Amino acid sequence: MMEKKILLVDGMALLFRAFYSTAMSGYFMVNSKGVPTNAVHGFVRHMMTAANTFQPSHVICCWDMGAHTFRNDLYPDYKANRGAPPEELVPQFDLVKEVTESMEIPNIGEVGYEADDCIGTLAKAYQSEAEVHILTGDQDILQLLDENIKVILLKKGYGNYDIYHAERFTEEKGITPYQMIELKAMMGDTSDNYPGVRGVGEKTALKLLQKHGTLEDILANLDQLTKAQRAKFENDLEMVHLSRKLAEINCETGVTCDLNEAEFRINRERAMEKFQELEFKRLDSLF
């Protein structure tokens, strides 16, 4: 077993999950300065519960750096269906990074890329020297499953996880994690607002991938598809190629993080000072 165990945290996924788990009931934990803190408080609980469960030697947190990415340049309607974040969440975007910094956990992000792209880049960079665990609530990141790369999916509540390795994914889906990119290219993604091949769902896309192996081979053998399937692909030929580019996590963003700076050694006094400033309660037991 490798000595290094790196936990790559999808900061955006944890922050949004923490916000909406309490915001639905109108509970924003506004402190005496009028600043809402519910998302940051929940983020810390999620991250520290996972750290205590999986005992990483290193922790790195990855973030989106603005709404516009290279995917918007490829397809202007990418995520165009998403409204502006709630006003109670906006001040917590910067605040959460202050909190992770106080815990001496590196914040990593790159303008023009999503947190997933930074996670993918770091995971691939570290997998030869460490066991990498990715903490997220986003199943899109399952495409990164590989040797020494596992994904910890958050489930409802705190401390409940669905842990994936490449072998489990293949057993369940009948395809490799990498083929998930082409699965999404065909079936599209309503959350990210791109259509893929209209009329082709997950069941059909899976069968085609299991039979042909790659999107390229499916397109090279359209004559083997049913008449209806062939028509759908021919009508959306350009979009399926574009959707593949949108679906693939970019693992060559150029982001780096010196592992010496990511050793998980929280200065409890410094962290608690920040928590007291924000008027956080019920977090002491996690440290």
Condensed to tens digits (0 to 9), the pLDDT of residues 238-276 reads: 999 999 999 999 999 999 999 999 999 999 999 999 999
**CB-based contact 26:239 (threshold 8 Å):** no
Please compute the mean of the pLDDT values over residues 148-177 and round it to a whole number: 96
Q: What is the pLDDT of residue 135?
A: 98
Residue 252 placed within a domain: no
Are residues 154 and 228 located together in one domain of the fold? no
Are residues 99 and 211 located together in one domain of the fold? no
Q: 66 versus 10: which is more confidently predicted?
A: 10
Q: What is the pLDDT of residue 209?
A: 96
The count of domains in the chain is 2
Are residues 216 and 133 located together in one domain of the fold? no
Q: What is the pLDDT of residue 283?
A: 79
Structure tokens at 177: 């994690």
Please compute the mean of the pLDDT values over residues 164-180 and round it to a whole number: 97
Residue 239 placed within a domain: yes
**What is the C-alpha separation between 217 and 40, in angstroms, rounded?**
46
Q: What is the pLDDT of residue 26?
A: 77
Please compute the mean of the pLDDT values over residues 214-237 and round it to a whole number: 96
Are residues 138 and 107 located together in one domain of the fold? yes
Q: What is the CATH number of the domain that holds 142?
A: 3.40.50.1010
Residue 31 placed within a domain: yes
Please compute the mean of the pLDDT values over residues 178-205 and round it to a whole number: 96
Strand 131-136 relative to strand 5-10, pairing: parallel
Are residues 73 and 129 located together in one domain of the fold? yes
Residue 284 has pLDDT above 70, yes or no: yes
Question: How crowded is residue 4: how many other Cβ atoms within 10 Å of its Cβ?
Answer: 16
Q: What is the pLDDT of residue 214?
A: 96
Give the domain range for residue 225.
Answer: 173-247
Q: What is the CATH number of the domain that holds 190?
A: 1.10.150.20
Helix locations, 148-220, DSSP H: 166-173, 180-187, 202-212, 215-220
Residue 1 has pLDDT above 80, yes or no: no
**Edge-first strand listing for the sheet containing 58-62:** 107-108, 58-62, 5-10, 131-136, 149-154, 161-164
Residue 218 has pLDDT above 70, yes or no: yes
Q: What is the pLDDT of residue 27?
A: 81
Q: What is the pLDDT of residue 28?
A: 87
Q: What average pLDDT does the structure give for the chain? A: 95
Which three-class secondary structure state does DSSP give residue 222?
helix
Residue 108 placed within a domain: yes
**What is the C-alpha separation between 206 and 141, in angstroms, rounded?**
18
Q: What is the pLDDT of residue 186?
A: 98
At 155, which amino acid appears?
Answer: K
